[in-house]
Amino acid sequence: MEAITTTIPSRAAGSENGRRMAEYSRDALIRVGVAGAEVQDLPAIVSFPDHADFIVRGAQDLRVQANTLGHSLQTLPEGIEGELVYVGSGAFADYEGKDVRGKIILTELSYAPARHEKQRIAALMGAAGAVMMNWGHPENEAVPFGSVKPAWGTPTPDTFRDEMPTIPCIGISRVAGLKLKDDCAAGPVQVWFRTHVENGWRPVQITVGEVKAPEASPEFEDFVLVGGHQDSWPGAQATDNAAGSACTIELARIVAESRADLRRGAVFGFWTAHETGTMAGSAWFADRNWDRLRENAVAYLQIDQPACVNTLGHWATASNAELRKFHSRIEAQHLKGIPAVWERAVKNGDSSFFGLGIPMFHGEGTISEEEMARTAMASLGWWHHSVHNTMDKLDWDWMQVHVDIYAAWLIELLTAPVLPFSHVEVARQIIERLEQLAAPGAAVGLDGALSKARQFAAAAERLDVLADRVRVGFDAGQGDEDAARLVNRAFKRLSRLLVPLQSTVKGTYGQDPYGYTPQTTMIPCLYDIPHLATLPEAEERWMLETALRRARNRVADTMTDSIALIDDLHRQMGR
């Protein structure tokens, strides 16, 4: 941590320090026994934002300190000027009754939705620009960094056209933002701002290393992917994500020392262009290693911002539901009574592997709900994405607990004869979501998909019983390796079908925009079903109904294919 934060600060993707960090990660992996670790170069559209000029008009103009947000549009030299309109968190619902066309919006920085989605929504609503006030306590003077590029990874021609930012955006402190919010409530507020940003193609670097299981192992070609971003905003950026990089290096050491006992290998990825390229590094890795990831990746453990101060006493893990039972058991063993909560994994952080169907999870201490309420939902600390993110923002005793849990998760996934998965919870969540949508979904035949989901739930129960029988055999010293391989392959293939359904709109071969509003729900491709019920019989309804009918068919087919996969497994095993 000291080496990274003091000798390689400001680790921006596409900068010299970004490359130095990639080389440091490579050398550290080799030092702990990961021979063959390497730096890989790739092209990416990244952003180098600078300060912004921001003035509140009045009898005497007031200059306010501001940062241009990454991938913001560059204003013309004369800047932009307009009326400021406060829109809360900047979600669609926050615009009800407000006309922001040609105006500049003022929004909260909370991740509900993320900055990228705030920008997209503001542009759809006709805003000319966006001012995002930092989170934290009311007296927080930290001026935030951040990015507003929705397009995930290196854009394609389609996403370059449809998903790149279209308005200029700046960030200001919470102190300044709350004053402006009050001013907006009292009467019209006129503001002017000018952005300073360089957006363009640069060579950027990721670091990848692998510990292979012994070739005599029954499943030596399979592996767990462990990853987190190694780039950063200006300054030390201790929690985000020097801490994650340090943890990943320590996990690599533990796995390398345990190689002789491994059933599966581990691939360690240190991603880049996390913020300034919207996950360009991990998305590139997914695209370039598709065949092997599809066939052999078991799970993806993401490590990002572990052990922040003020999070001791609260733990949260987000995962695809097939992993929930497994990781919750290990958390209970290590947290010793500290409460833990579970959340469905959504597409944030470097979750570039949903389309591939690789179940992911990440867990860390979390700020209490009471503190969140006091700090405008500052879930990652008031210092997040600012120059105040320094070494004192880490709790080292708590860090040891994090590493213990991460290591326990990883070692079990690497050594268990039968993968500790259960798709029963996946089925339950699918059924719950389809039941929620049943009434408005009748128009697109959702009842048939719900019937198939209930059949899948019964099949998932049968799979759990079968997997447990195989596990018992290994526990008794009479393990059936052929049976274990068949069950594990079925688990992987089920995830390939179900993870894209649980977690994506675009499906297997696309990447949803960062923070995309439908991602807030299970089976996000069905997000617009409630809206369908509000539309009259006319063109808009007919087109949306067509799209949702196809989404319904996707759900039904996934249920049918999942049931068939489980039935095939039973036939193969003669059970």
CA 400 to chain centre: 24
Tokens of 389: 């993110």
Query: Rounded to an integer, what distance in angstroms lies between the CA atom of residue 280 and that of residue 275?
Result: 9
Per DSSP, the three-state class of 68 is strand
Location of structure tokens 């003091």: 6
Tally of CB atoms within 10 A around 196: 16
Structure tokens at 441: 């979904």
Query: Encoding tokens for residue 562?
Result: 């999942």
Q: Which amino acid is at 231?
A: D
* Entry field: residues in the chain: 575
pTM over the 0.85 mark: yes
Q: Which residues contact 442 (CB under 8 A, 6 or more apart)?
A: none
DSSP percent split of the chain into helix, strand, coil, nearest 5: 45, 20, 35
- Do the Cβ atoms of 466 and 491 come closer than 8 Å? no
Handedness of CA 407, 502, 316, 5 (dihedral sign): positive
Q: What's residue 575's pLDDT? A: 64
**Strand 51-56 to 190-194 pairing:** antiparallel
Contact 109, 134 (CB under 8 A): yes
In the block, tokens 């990089």 appear at 245
Secondary structure class of 86 (helix, strand, coil)? strand
SS (H, E, C) 111-150: CCCCHHHHHHHHHHCCCCEEEEECCCCCCCCCCCCCECCC
CA-nearest of 196, 201, 198, 165 to 75 is 196
Tens-level pLDDT at each residue, the chain (575 residues): 999 999 999 999 999 999 999 999 999 999 999 999 999 999 999 999 999 999 999 999 999 999 999 999 999 999 999 999 999 999 999 999 999 999 999 999 888 899 999 999 999 999 999 999 999 999 999 999 999 999 999 999 999 999 999 999 999 999 999 999 999 999 999 999 999 999 999 999 999 999 999 998 889 999 999 999 999 999 999 999 999 999 999 999 999 999 999 999 999 999 999 999 999 999 999 999 999 999 999 999 999 999 999 998 899 999 999 999 999 999 999 999 899 999 999 998 999 999 999 999 999 999 988 889 999 999 999 999 999 999 999 999 999 999 999 999 999 999 999 999 999 999 999 999 999 999 999 999 999 999 999 999 999 999 999 999 999 999 999 999 999 999 999 999 999 999 999 999 999 999 999 999 999 999 999 999 999 999 999 999 999 999 999 999 999 999 999 999 999 999 999 86
Token code pair at residue 141: 């003077």
